[in-house]
Structure 1
Amino acid sequence: MLSSGTPPGWSWSDVDVAVPRPSARLPGISMAGFRQRVFAYGEIAMVAHPSVTLLIDLSEGTGPVYDIHGRQQRGSVVVGLLPGDLRAAGWGRVDCLQIRLEPAVAAAVLGATTELSGTVVSLEDVWGRDAGRAEERLCAAASWDERFTIAAEILTRRLDDRTVVDPEVAYTWRRTLTSRGRVRVEGLADAVGWSRKRLWSRFRSQLGITPKRAARLVRFDHAAHLLAAGHAAAGVAAESGYVDQSHLHREVKEFAGLTPTAVAAAPWLGIDDVAWPASSPTRSRDC
């Protein structure tokens, strides 16, 4: 979810990454801590990811500023699905806890997420005073391990306090994710015993995205990581379920604003793989 271009004044080698130990991980939730070690200006171009994302600012000083379509938001934010052209900029040494929530989990942790789709809002607008309390506890923690423990406690409590989405909707999302977006809505409707119209309506009203759009987003995410791993675009198109290479090009352009060649070289995918490595799910690195 991070930069599609190396910002002036620093490089990804200047960023330390920490991830929770396997025993501390929660279903449907991924966390990572980022620390910029050098004092410099940096700009991050963010791209679509199949999750709702919390970016909790733990920096000393001004912290990051997020810009979406000319509107700016400072501090801790919630990034909904499909945010569009989103950039973050910061000056100094930035500390940030990034929490990715699968949409069905986000609906429980954040409440209704439909209005979050395509937007970036202040975490305080969503959690109220709890946002400030969470920031204070996380800032006071002595290590990333302690921060992950605190975050897991907060998220677990909110999960216990809220109603989850319909089981049929949650199942549809999980099947979309595990199939890497290569699944037909009609088949999913049959699997849960609903009509296509009902599944479409309930899915969209609870997760803020249609089943078809969700499948496209998941498929793009898989294709983007294959491109970053060095696979040729033609092979990625075939493996990811696109009609042809031109189809892949159009989808990557829509979701990332880049060509497949540019995505393959995008530094954000490199750091993304450090924090959430698909091939090494037990990797852990503290900073």
Structure 2
Amino acid sequence: MSDTAAWEIARPSRARPGADMAGFRIPGDRPAELRAIPHPAVTVAVEFGDRPVAVGGRRMTSLAAGLGFTVFRVRAEGVDCVQLRLSPLLAHPVLGLPLAELRGQVLALDDLWGRGTSALRERLHHARTWPERFALVEAELAARLDAGRPVDPEVAWVWREILGSHGRVRVRELAARTGWSRQRLWSRFGAQLGLTPKRAAMLVRFDHAVHRLVRGHSAARVAAEGGYADQSHLHHEIRAFTGTTPVAAAGEPWLAVDERAWPG
């Protein structure tokens, strides 16, 4: 059972663009069991207490979930963690690998950062306040961004076009506007961000639509205004990303947390 209203959620006063951050403290007397819903960002979480999170039956003290990950179940009890939602444009250099290698998976962050993960957990554990912890994570991000390799400018431009249009841009026209062939764009975009441009647009469109449903908008209105052919099309894509109906998806606790951890 999940009672996310009992969670302590903290936010930094300022955040690096493309690196949304939140701190979570989940009480030990109210264990949370919920499903993580795909989001158009790479999710990174670092637990700094002494209670690993159960992710799909695996116990983890840190994780990285690729862009458009498959729904997975999370069980957390007495957990303290910092979670990031990284734009794939930042995640590529921060994680230190092309996101195609993370495609749809949930990995232990230790597998990507090695001893750097345990060192960060130790620093977070000894920090006394959320602002201190957020500053530690920001310093880690800055160092890894400086050392990492950025995505191609053309790939970054296409991602921003998809995001800015809420997934409604005609992706087949984007290649011509970059000066690349369609084949080259699909190949480079998929290798660096982990999804094809078409799948990325579907994910962004889904995320915008499902959050409108959470806010109480009707499925008919969301479908009509969200770039879907009809309600059946909306229903099909929400089921593809969540495994549930639009009504059930709108009641997911994970999405309710968004309104407090990542408002707006």
TM-score for the superposition, normalised by structure 1: 0.88
2:38–2:71 Cα contact (<8 Å) kept: no
The aligned residue for residue 63 of structure 1 is 52
2:34–2:253 Cα contact (<8 Å) kept: no
- Other structure's SS at 2:32 match: strand
Q: Quick one: distance in 2 between partners of 1:229 and 1:154?
A: 34
Q: Provide the aligned C-alpha RMSD in A.
A: 1.3
- Other structure's SS at 1:26 match: coil
Which residue type is aligned with residue 258 of structure 1?
A: T
The Cα shift of 1:38 comes to 4.6
- Other structure's SS at 1:39 match: coil
The aligned residue for residue 177 of structure 2 is 191
- Structure with the greater relative contact order (CA < 8 A, sep ≥ 6): 1 or 2? 1
Identity of aligned residues (%): 48
The aligned residue for residue 16 of structure 2 is 26
The aligned residue for residue 44 of structure 2 is 54
The aligned residue for residue 37 of structure 1 is 27
Which residue type is aligned with residue 36 of structure 1?
A: I
2:214–2:250 Cα contact (<8 Å) kept: yes
The aligned residue for residue 85 of structure 2 is 100
Q: Quick one: distance in 1 between partners of 2:221 and 2:154?
A: 33
- Other structure's SS at 1:35 match: strand
1:43–1:88 Cα contact (<8 Å) kept: yes
Which consecutive residues of structure 2, in runs of 5 or more, have no partner in the other structure? none
1:34–1:97 Cα contact (<8 Å) kept: yes
Q: Quick one: distance in 2 between partners of 1:258 and 1:130?
A: 38
Q: Quick one: distance in 1 between partners of 2:125 and 2:235?
A: 42
- Other structure's SS at 2:84 match: strand
The aligned residue for residue 175 of structure 1 is 161
Match of 1:275 among 246, 261, 264: 261
1:47–1:256 Cα contact (<8 Å) kept: yes
C-alpha offsets along residues 51-86 of structure 1, whole Å, 9 cap, x if unaligned? Answer: 1111111223x321111xxx6242111111232131
2:66–2:102 Cα contact (<8 Å) kept: yes
The aligned residue for residue 109 of structure 1 is 94
- Other structure's SS at 1:49 match: coil
Q: Quick one: distance in 1 between partners of 2:256 and 2:32?
A: 17
Which residue type is aligned with residue 65 of structure 1?
A: A
Q: Quick one: distance in 1 between partners of 2:222 and 2:211?
A: 10
Which residue type is aligned with residue 20 of structure 1?
A: P
After superposition, the Cα gap between the structure-2 partners of 1:26 and 1:146, relative to the gap in structure 1 and judged at 3 Å, is same
C-alpha offsets along residues 73-131 of structure 1, whole Å, 9 cap, x if unaligned? Answer: 4211111123213111133x111111111112110101222111111111110001111
Q: How many residues align?
A: 263
TM-score for the superposition, normalised by structure 2: 0.96
1:228–1:269 Cα contact (<8 Å) kept: yes
The aligned residue for residue 85 of structure 1 is 71
1:17–1:34 Cα contact (<8 Å) kept: yes
